[in-house]
Structure 1
Amino acid sequence: MKTIQSFSKGLLVASIALTMSHSALCATYIYASNVITAEDSKMVKNKTIVVDEGLIKDILDGKNQGGEGDTFVDLSDYTIMPGFMDMHTHITYQNEGTAGYLKRFSDNEADLAIAGVNYAQRTLMAGFTTIRNLGDRYNETVALRKAIDGGIVSGPRIFTSGKSIATTGGHADPTNGMRRDLMGSPTPADGVVNGVAKAREAVRQRYKDGADLIKITATGGVLSVAKSGQNPQFMADELDAIVQTAKDYEMTVAVHAHGKEGMKRAIIAGVDSIEHGTYMDDEIFKLMRKNEVYYVPTISAGNFVAEKAKIDGYFPAIVRPKAAAIGPLLQQTFGRAYENGVMIAFGTDAGVSPHGDNALEFELMVSAGMSEMDAIRSATYNTSKLLKIDDKLGTISVNKLADLVAVKGNPLEDIRILQSVDFVMKDGLIYKHSQ
């Protein structure tokens, strides 16, 4: 029986190699004082989780170190949970203020993909073993997903929308703010549509490109170089066409939306999640409950842009007032949505806010009135439901994939400790274990 006590971050590759070679021969027994399975709102004590061939094979009472050849991981005084999932990231992008806008004219696909390798590793080390990436530029997240799945680089499991779908001049039109000779006329392949036929074409193109889901920008946005941050930007028939076509390909639809009218049209069309949702009201809460639409709050990003808006010159002049007005409202909206029983799935908009700081969202959710357990379940059980992978992930359950994270102490007493994850396992491989 081999006991793993500590791996530093610098020994990540060695850790993975050791675990991979050893797991072919034996099981891994992980003992923890506290276990949050996320199946319900209870914490259980003193359990040993048996991992073999990437799966949770058993959950035993007490401390069990296994047999000859097995690996034992002692997480006494720790709380172990399912791997966290972030439902709103931009894994190949990092906000740099005005300087970042200039990179549209200099960065190639390879630049973004290589940056994504770094951000993906940061995200995994923060305890997020699965992410939903809602918008890239050149389908580079499809390539990154393949590299991670193939074991070429380390990172979270990625579900990607590829390039977001927008309307001409709308949030996610990549040519906004450019001079006329550079604007051209973006097509559905570029993520810009007008009318039902083009809307359907854009969905089919994303399916062809290898995307897992669809992301649309139903209203204006904060960081786009355009005046409005909340106006509706799709007509109802366009939204209907996108949702119907996506369903044909068994793809879910995530919707960037700040303004009420855009949210209302999208929810009625049958989308799966509303991102940001700044100007939600009681009518929207009711519609979301009725249609079982998830809310992905992204409070971290709202707080981040609101703070940066105070710095003269950080954002372009047209962006700054939107960041100052919309950003601070997200936490307040989240609190009201939670009180009104809206289904909530954890999401940060990491990339707008820094990668690796994803767990700050837990603290912000709790400070807005959510219970600690509900916050944890929003990033495990609820997210697996939204992704429709709850048969494989989202809880610590026998025969599910062994994605596990642990922190020292009890996050139900202090949610802030989730920002210091000490143990990360994905697919039965240990990527981080620091004590």
Structure 2
Amino acid sequence: MGRLCNRVLGLLLLIPSAVGVAQELAIEDAAVYTSPEAPLRRHMTIVIHQGVIADAGEHVRIPKGMQRISCQGCVVLAGFWNAHVHFMEPKWNDAAHLPAERLTRQLSEMLTHSGFTTVVDTGSEVENTVALRKRIESGEVFGPRIFTAGIPLYPAHALPFYLADVPADVKAKLGQPETAADAKALVDKNHAAGADILKLFTGSIVRPNQVTPMQVEIARAATEEEHKSGGLVFSHSSNMEGTKVAIDAGVDVLAHTPESVNGIDGVVLQRMVAQQMTIIPTLKLFSQDSDIAKIRGLDYQFRQLGGRLVYGTDTGFLADYDQSEEFRQLMAAGFTFRDVLDMLTTAPAALFHLSQHEGKVMPGMRGDLTVLSDDPASGRPETFNHVLYTIRGGVVIWQADRPTK
């Protein structure tokens, strides 16, 4: 996993000078959760210098000339991740040339208003997403850091039924490897275009209630090729058969909880935990399913067995960007606000081998912060939605109608 760490750190090091010039910021008199397991600390001041938290405590001197946010009544947390999004809607087409103000507004509506400072795109037109990322990192557009999978790989001749109406020119780009060599070539092509991770459909829903699995040999070849260059492999597994392919292939992350949980028992989950696999619940996506309680229960059991859960919602595939239902479902599953905060911050940082640099509010960590108006310890799921500021590397990339000094 050292190669993964090196790749991610390479992207990380581009960022301190990339989200605008003014990266000197002080947040005064705030209540702060420095980590998901830490107690709430009140009357703290956080100083961000050159995109990194330089000081944080109850008695901190603020350098002259630094922008200040008076944060009485605020609750400050490490910046939120959404590890399952898509930039696949038509409004992202030609992102290289769209007006910067339009892109900033679209990112605000989709992501930054919810406090997301980092997102993982698990499937999109890679040229558009890479162009969007470049414009964000240049400071021209205000938005989150983006990791992207580019074009996913699907089982041969088995695209998901919900892609049936995709335009022919787009459909022609969707990788459906028939051999291990094909899979490796497609992985390399994605990397050459700028992808950071790989997404496999190890279980493709070709029609309602019918899943076609990817051949294990093809999934394994793709996974091994991705791991050679240090990337994580995400899987859309759908059911037990697709999940078994993901496990046998050595996939790192299930991009969804399997929608069909039949046959996925404690033994299967323990094997996943032993292989250090991660699950992204995306419970909002399944919230209308008749067996949503079983899907929630699978996530809870996985966590109890020691498995890592990371927050993600399929935002972008789901045109409704509101996060309320995801938080409600997670708490209905039995997770505490601290569990959810871990999924939003420290767990994704650990998944991407960035724990030494981010995920907590303390000196030396990146100045990525999400500022809420309410304390999530209240147990009300909606408090995670009450975002006042989204701060990336010391730059306010989104704020509610509340002025800074």
* TM-score, reference length from structure 2: 0.83
Paired position in structure 1 for 2:157: 169
Paired position in structure 2 for 1:283: 267
Amino acid at match of 1:196: A
Q: 1:193 offset after TM fit, Å?
A: 1.0
Amino acid at match of 1:252: L
Measured in 2, the distance between the counterparts of 1:178 and 1:79 equals 43
Paired position in structure 2 for 1:120: 107
Preserved CA contact (<8 Å) 1:161 1:212? yes
Q: 1:116 offset after TM fit, Å?
A: 6.5
Paired position in structure 1 for 2:299: 334
Paired position in structure 1 for 2:47: 50
Q: Secondary structure at the match of 1:257?
A: coil
Paired position in structure 2 for 1:373: 338
Paired position in structure 1 for 2:120: 132
Q: 1:173 offset after TM fit, Å?
A: 8.7
What does residue range 215-294 of structure 1 map to in structure 2 within 5 Å? 215-221=199-205, 226-229=206-209, 231-276=211-256, 277-278=258-259, 279=261, 280-294=264-278
Equivalent in 145, 156, 161 of residue 144 of structure 2: 156
Preserved CA contact (<8 Å) 2:32 2:77? yes
C-alpha distance 120-298 of structure 1, shift in aligned 2 (>3 A)? same
Paired position in structure 1 for 2:72: 76
Q: Percent identity?
A: 21
Equivalent in 306, 312, 315 of residue 350 of structure 1: 315
C-alpha distance 91-344 of structure 1, shift in aligned 2 (>3 A)? same
Paired position in structure 2 for 1:383: 348
Paired position in structure 2 for 1:66: 62
Q: 1:71 offset after TM fit, Å?
A: 2.8
What does residue range 65-104 of structure 1 map to in structure 2 within 5 Å? 66-93=62-89
Q: 1:259 offset after TM fit, Å?
A: 0.6
What does residue range 15-30 of structure 1 map to in structure 2 within 5 Å? 23=23, 27-30=24-27
Residue 358 of structure 2 corresponds to residue 393 of structure 1 = yes
Paired position in structure 2 for 1:34: 31
Paired position in structure 1 for 2:401: 434
Measured in 2, the distance between the counterparts of 1:45 and 1:259 equals 46
Deviations 1:172-194 (A, max 9, x none): 59974689xx69994xx632211
C-alpha distance 344-157 of structure 1, shift in aligned 2 (>3 A)? same
Paired position in structure 1 for 2:134: 146
Equivalent in 179, 183, 205 of residue 195 of structure 1: 179
Measured in 2, the distance between the counterparts of 1:131 and 1:408 equals 22
Amino acid at match of 1:218: T
Q: 1:253 offset after TM fit, Å?
A: 0.3
Q: Secondary structure at the match of 1:129?
A: strand
Measured in 1, the distance between the counterparts of 2:84 and 2:318 equals 11
Paired position in structure 1 for 2:384: 418
Q: 1:360 offset after TM fit, Å?
A: 4.1
Structural RMSD (CA): 3.0
Q: Secondary structure at the match of 2:271?
A: helix
Q: 1:400 offset after TM fit, Å?
A: 1.8
Q: 1:419 offset after TM fit, Å?
A: 1.0
Q: Secondary structure at the match of 2:182?
A: helix
* TM-score, reference length from structure 1: 0.78
Paired position in structure 2 for 1:402: 367
Unaligned runs of 5+ in 2: 1-18
Q: 1:22 offset after TM fit, Å?
A: 5.4
Amino acid at match of 1:130: T
Measured in 2, the distance between the counterparts of 1:333 and 1:118 equals 37
Measured in 2, the distance between the counterparts of 1:71 and 1:282 equals 52
Paired position in structure 1 for 2:12: none
Measured in 2, the distance between the counterparts of 1:407 and 1:38 equals 15
Decide which structure has the larger Cα Rg and report it.
1
Q: 1:230 offset after TM fit, Å?
A: 5.8
Q: 1:153 offset after TM fit, Å?
A: 1.3
Q: Secondary structure at the match of 2:234?
A: strand
Amino acid at match of 1:209: A
Amino acid at match of 2:390: V
